[in-house]
Amino acid sequence: MDIRNESLGSIDDRLRRSDPGEELPCSGGCRARLLEAVIAAVAVAAQADGRIQPSERMAVMAVLNRTGLVEDAGMPAALAGFADCVAALQAGRVSLPQLLSRRMNMLVGAPWSLLVVQAAAEVAEADGPLCAEEERALLAIRRAAGVMPPPLPPRVAARPEVPGAGERSPEA
């Protein structure tokens, strides 16, 4: 779908899958919307640091092949959609929150949202360790998909050192 002509969709487009290990949805509408979400997420992740490396482009193709969302004949169109998303983000025609909310609104909380997050992380990591911009982009993708990391455990208060048997405390 061309980014300039996309609509927000409806609640009827949501994926209702019970097991993320199940085969990908076959219906044209849901499958197409899932592909759009993956393409948007990998575009956001790839261009987050301001440039798209060849390793990130290869990771995009690998993700699209591995997910089964794109058949061989559909790869050029999927890559064109990726390029459209990148161009729109870099030209400022669409903001990152707009793109993610439009493309991922049907995934929020659905089992398939994790696939989108993992695809984006793979692309972001393809050119090496994550930079701060890539980490922020992945956090935005997680939020848009409704997949937040578990909260960190509360910090354990530092325990004062207790001298062992036969030792003197430093205060004495």
* Domain locations in the chain as residue ranges: 27-145
Vertex 163, ends 158 and 168: CA angle to 5°? 135
Mean pLDDT of the chain: 77
Q: What separation in angstroms does the CA of 122 have from each of 40, 52, 69, 112, 168?
A: 14, 14, 16, 16, 54
Distance CA(115)–CA(135), nearest Å, equals 17
Q: What is the CA radius of gyration of the chain?
A: 21
The count of C-alpha atoms lying within 13 angstroms of the C-alpha of 97, restricted to the half-sphere facing its C-beta, is: 0
The predicted structure's pLDDT at residue 7: 39
pTM (global) more than 0.75: no
Q: What is the pLDDT of residues 114-168, one digit of tens each?
A: 889 999 999 999 999 999 999 999 999 999 998 877 666 666 555 555 555 655 6
DSSP 3-state of 128? coil
DSSP 3-state of 116? helix
Flag whether pLDDT at 5 surpasses 50: no
81 and 163 in contact (C-beta within 8 Å)?
A: no
Distance CA(167)–CA(59), nearest Å, equals 58
Flag whether pLDDT at 1 surpasses 60: no
DSSP state of 106: T
The predicted structure's pLDDT at residue 170: 56
